[in-house]
């Protein structure tokens, strides 16, 4: 059973505020979805992490230089920000005044 604590933990990791109603619904939903995707546990493969040697994947490299024109869209991008000041996004202070480190 998916507990409310587990939902709270996932919401915290996901940085999403949930209503009480959503928490209850997600508990039920996750129970059935995870039940379904857990059928993979019986699948005939060993656990394997991504590796670059798979025949259908090739890596694409480029020089780290001119893919984007620096500053070309700055004004347009900043205009979409909820809060901006000069050439900066505005966020709340994350360190207390007076702290040395």
Cβ(78)–Cβ(84) below 8 Å: yes
For the segment 20-39, give every residue that binds other proteins (CB under 8 A): 22, 25-26, 29-30, 32-34, 36-39
77 interacts with other proteins by CB under 8 A: yes
**Ramachandran area for residue 92 (φ above 0: left; ψ -120 to 50: alpha; else beta):** beta
* Residue 25 CB contacts under 8 Å (≥ 6 apart), including other chains: none
Cβ(88)–Cβ(99) below 8 Å: no
Of the pair 41, 97, the CB lying nearest other proteins is at 41
Q: Is 95 helix (H, G, I), strand (E, B) or coil?
A: coil
For the segment 81-100, give every residue that binds other proteins (CB under 8 A): 81-83, 89, 91-94
Question: What residues make contact with other proteins under the rule CB under 8 A?
Answer: 7, 10-11, 13-18, 22, 25-26, 29-30, 32-34, 36-41, 43, 45-50, 54, 56, 60, 62, 67, 73, 76-77, 79-83, 89, 91-94
């Amino acid at each position: 059973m998916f507990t409310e604590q587990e939902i709270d933990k996932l919401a915290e990791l996901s940085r999403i505020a949930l209503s009480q109603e959503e928490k209850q619904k997600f508990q039920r939903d996750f129970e059935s979805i995870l039940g379904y995707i857990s059928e993979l546990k019986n699948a005939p493969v060993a656990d394997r992490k991504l590796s670059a040697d798979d025949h259908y994947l090739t890596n694409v490299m480029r020089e780290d230089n001119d893919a984007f024109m620096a500053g070309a869209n700055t004004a347009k991008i900043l205009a979409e920000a909820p809060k901006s000041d000069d050439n900066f996004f505005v966020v709340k202070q994350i360190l207390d005044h007076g702290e040395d480190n």
